[in-house]
Amino acid sequence: MLNPYNNPNIEEFEIKENLMSVIKKRFSTYGYQQIRTPAFESYDMYSNITGTVSKGEMIKVIDPSGDVLVLRPDVTIPLTKMISKSLLREQRLFYIQDVYRQNSQREITESTQAGVECFGENSPFIDAEVIILAIHTLRDLGLKNFKIEVGHAGFFKEIIEQIQVTGQQLEQIKALIQSKNVIEMEPYLSSLTISTEAKEAIRQIPVMYGDPETVIQQAKELTLNENMENILQRLMEINELIKDYNASDYILFNLGLINHMNYYSGVIFQGFVGNVGMPVLMGGRYDHLGEQFSNSVPAIGFAFDVDLLLQARKQQGLNISVDSAADICIFYDQNRQKEALSMSYELRNYGYKVITNITGLPAKKHVYFSGDRSPYLGGNEKQPFTTMEELLQLLKQNEGEQN
């Protein structure tokens, strides 16, 4: 008989479900409530919002009425729309859902995101708490050697507002910063007609990475206006709060952090684990996204890439095989069926995983109802019992001996 517990797809599913259960539990301890968004949304809702998912990444379908829909490419946007139209503006929401996009080769990708969105307050305290929630969750998952890089969307934007460049030139500057390509940065900036101060600020951005105090001190020497000074002050306040949480060891500042989602307006951050080459989480503050739904609402959030978390855990030897074996298998003769099934029902009430009279499926313990004799717990020796209380005592004794 085929043993379904040997199916690797079932095992991978259970490992993923267990990981998501850990995430859900941690999110809830910070006051977040779970929510779901529809699998299909109006294409217009996404296409009319600037600085979000590109139209080319969306998977479009036509519904029976002829309207264009998209298969969920993002969760933040529909949640922001919901809150912006709600009378209850302060809400803490979390989700664990699949998102769908297509790449430049027109291949459809499906990934599971687990994220939080905190609506209604703009303060350094909330910024720090959301970052701490990300750290707390990564620790719950047993991951080691991870870092959260913290930056600010406004720092780079303030520099760009001081210069006159084309869209193509701006994209090239972003690419050089993101790749930390300081070698090609110098000649490229020399080819642009911008002020010496702005050139120096852009030149230094890729290397403003590392210890928060050091990065802030470097950045102070490059501020071009009061807004940039206020941004650095905000980052310092967030850093002090993270110190109060005793989580400084997990934090790096990165003022060259530029997220592809242009709706971010304040602190931005991303998390890396060990040798995983991509960020396992990305997030930030997006206070102005709601304005595109005619109602501004302060907000900050982040999303884990669950599949990358699984990869990270596997690399660190943490994706231990799920023990799918039943706790107890009850074998019985036909004339003892009523007793056996009644006991299986009671055992399940006590939380045991029970299967009955099925051969080929693994179980840790076996109970037998045979002939006219008393039922017994099998093993190295037969251990008879007459009541449920006696069986429970035997099971506890056996568990104690194994531990």
CATH number at residue 54: 3.30.930.10
Q: What is the CATH number of the domain that holds 346?
A: 3.40.50.800
Mean pLDDT on 260-284: 90
264 and 395 together in one domain: no
* Domain contains 150: yes
pLDDT at 160 over 80: yes
Q: Please state the residue numbers annotated as binding site for L-histidine.
A: 74-76, 101, 113, 117, 263-264
* Domain contains 199: no
Q: What is the largest CA-CA distance in the chain?
A: 98
147 and 286 together in one domain: yes
291 and 335 together in one domain: no
* Domain contains 294: yes
Count of domains observed in the chain = 2
- Residue in this structure with the two tokens 């300081």, named with its chain if needed: 182
19 and 116 together in one domain: yes
Domain that holds residue 297: 4-164+253-315
Mean pLDDT on 265-292: 92
284 and 376 together in one domain: no
**C-alpha 107: how far from chain center:** 23
pLDDT of residue 189: 86
Give the pLDDT band of residue 187 (cuts 50, 70, 90).
Answer: confident
Question: Domain boundary at 315, 335, 363, which?
Answer: 315
Mean pLDDT on 79-104: 90
Give buried/exposed letters for 372-390 (b at 16+ CB in 10 A, else e). Answer: eeebbbeeeeebebeeeee
Angle between helices 306-315 and 8-29 (to 10 degrees): 110
Question: Domain boundary at 285, 315, 345, which?
Answer: 315
pLDDT at 66 over 60: yes
pLDDT of residue 1: 35
57 and 144 together in one domain: yes
pLDDT of residue 260: 65
* Domain contains 177: no
pLDDT of residue 5: 44
Pairing of strands 91-102, 33-34: parallel
The predicted model scores a pTM of: 0.85
144 and 63 together in one domain: yes
* Domain contains 190: no
Mean pLDDT of the chain: 89
273 and 144 together in one domain: yes
pLDDT of residue 359: 63
pLDDT of residue 304: 98
CA distance 306 to 17: 10
Q: What is the pLDDT of residues 94-141, one digit of tens each?
A: 999 999 998 877 888 899 999 999 999 999 999 999 999 999 999 999
307 and 335 together in one domain: no
* Domain contains 362: yes
- Residue in this structure with the two tokens 């997220």, named with its chain if needed: 259
Q: What is the pLDDT of residues 6-55, one digit of tens each?
A: 455 778 888 899 999 999 999 999 999 999 999 999 998 888 777 677 88
Sheet holding 299-305, edge to edge: 33-34, 91-102, 108-119, 299-305, 281-285, 267-273, 146-152, 251-254, 209-210
* Domain contains 122: yes
* Domain contains 296: yes
CA distances for 175 relative to 21, 172, 182, 185, 258, angstroms = 37, 5, 11, 10, 9
pLDDT of residue 8: 56
The number of helix segments (H) and strand segments (E) in the chain equals: 13, 17
- Contact partners, residue 162, CB within 8 Å, separation at least 6: 194, 195, 197, 198, 224, 225
Give me the percent of the chain exceeding a pLDDT of 90. 57
Q: Please state the residue numbers annotated as binding site.
A: 74-76, 101, 113, 117, 263-264
